[in-house]
Amino acid sequence: MDPTTRAGASTSALHARLTAWYAAHRRDLPWRGDGTDAWGVLVSEVMLQQTPVSRVDPVWRAWMERWPTPSDLAAASPADVLVAWDRLGYPRRALRLRECATAIRDTCGGIVPDDETALLALPGIGPYTAAAVRAFAYGRRAVVLDTNVRRVLARALGGEALPAPSLTRAEQDRAAAHLPLDDAGSALWNVALMELGALVCTARSPRCDVCPLRELCAWRAAGHPPDVHAHRRRTQAWHGTDRQARGALMAVLRERRDVAPETLADAWPPPEQRRRALASLVADGLVVAVTDDDGAALSYALP
DNA sequence: TAGACGTGGTT
DNA sequence: TAACCAAGTCT
């Protein structure tokens, strides 16, 4: 039996169980509705980058109501976009999404492209989001490898508790080898795999007892061995970091849009760290400084 | 390629 | 409580 046949047979058994489970347990997320076009899917994917579904849901609904097309968002001010982004986090994503909308309007005729090269050329769109738009918005065959899919495949096929810290070539090859060959089948495979990772095959407490793949799972067959990458994972510091300072300053600016330097001093007292955070926010285009003739800051505002 | 980049719920 | 984790991208 050649490798292609083996992979095909394995995929077939997994696919049948996975799709049956998905049909019964899929969530009715707003961006999965029939009324959602490619722009809506793209917006949802950018918002969902490193951000839980529950936080994205209300923001996405309001966003699509306000800016239903790329041209609508492109015409909005950065300040309005940042305020609407609210507390989704990583506010640079909001700015990039607006730049993405501008690029779609100016270079793609206002239509979200369906080919990988054009998608990857857009601001804020990387390998995952490009594949997700092709698969979920256009029903095309694409290797969708987000954190959920990586984890499910690492367990079911690789027998490991968790995937490596960063995406490997071997993982991409394995995912490609198991992807159904047809457009519709591959699109369903992708969304079902992702949903299983989100609802059952979770990072912390996987619900193996109700998993549709349990009889086929290599990790379960191996006795659930621990994560071999554990020693390489380092936790991200937060308290007292410049990152936390940036977040505190942006929270004030979202609320007031334009504030005196003293107001920001109240929001983040340590002067040197505040200066550093503000400088980086200005460099990122998230904040603008209004200065007098001597260059002293009179106020800070959203762009 | 490793590190930077928000925010808040869960364990 | 501190740490972990969430549909990644960019530099």
Residue A110: name the closest of A155, A81, A67, A77 by CA.
A67
Domains with residue ranges and CATH for chain A: 3-221 (1.10.340.30), 242-301 (1.10.10)
C1' of B11 to CA of A212 (Å): 25
Is residue A8 predicted with pLDDT exceeding 80? Answer: no
Contact A45/A126 with Cβ under 8 angstroms?
A: no
Our measurement of the distance from residue A231's CA atom to the centroid of its chain's CA atoms, rounded to an integer in Å, reads 25
Residue nearest to nucleotide B1 (CA to C1'): A166
C1' of B7 to CA of A55 (Å): 10
Residue A3: band (very low, low, confident or very high) from pLDDT cuts 50, 70, 90: very low
d(CA A129, CA A131): 5
Detail the DSSP E strand segments found in A160-260. Answer: 258-259
Residue-level pLDDT at A203 = 96
Residue-level pLDDT at A295 = 84
One-letter amino acid for residue A225 of the chain: P
Task: Report the share of chain A in percent with pLDDT over 70.
Answer: 95
Is residue A6 predicted with pLDDT exceeding 50? Answer: no
Is residue A234 predicted with pLDDT exceeding 70? Answer: no
**Tens-place pLDDT, residues A157-169:** 999 999 999 999 9
Residue A143: name the closest of A159, A154, A132 by CA.
A132
Residue-level pLDDT at A16 = 96
What's the average model confidence in pLDDT over A266-289? 97
Is residue A56 predicted with pLDDT exceeding 90? Answer: yes
**Tens-place pLDDT, residues A129-151:** 999 999 999 999 999 999 999 99
C1' of B9 to CA of A199 (Å): 16
For residue A8 the two structure tokens come to 């095909």
* Beta-ladder partners of A1: none
Residue-level pLDDT at A2 = 32
- Strand B atom within 7 Å of A96 CB: no
Residue-level pLDDT at A232 = 66
Residue A161: name the closest of A211, A228, A207 by CA.
A228
What's the average model confidence in pLDDT over A259-279? 97
User: Which residues have C-beta within 8 Å of that of residue A38, sequence separation ≥ 6?
Assistant: A111, A112, A114, A133, A137, A138
d(CA A141, CA A121): 19
What's the average model confidence in pLDDT over A267-279? 97
- Torsion A104-A109-A113-A119 (CA) sign: negative
SS3 state of residue A33: coil
10 Å CB burial of residue A294 (0-12, 13-18, 19+) is: exposed
Q: Are strands A288-291 and A258-259 parallel, antiparallel or unpaired?
A: unpaired
Contact A293/A69 with Cβ under 8 angstroms?
A: no
**Tens-place pLDDT, residues A190-228:** 999 999 999 999 999 999 999 999 999 999 999 999 999
Protein-covered nucleotides on strand C (Cβ within 7 A): 3-10
**Tens-place pLDDT, residues A68-102:** 999 999 999 999 999 999 999 999 999 999 999 99
What's the average model confidence in pLDDT over A25-47? 97
Ramachandran assignment for A232, one of left (phi > 0), alpha (psi -120 to 50 degrees), beta (any other)? alpha
Positions of A marked catalytic = 45
Is residue A4 predicted with pLDDT exceeding 50? Answer: no
Residue A172: name the closest of A188, A156, A153 by CA.
A153
**Tens-place pLDDT, residues A168-199:** 999 999 999 999 999 999 999 999 999 999 99
Residue nearest to nucleotide B9 (CA to C1'): A52
What's the average model confidence in pLDDT over A252-280? 97
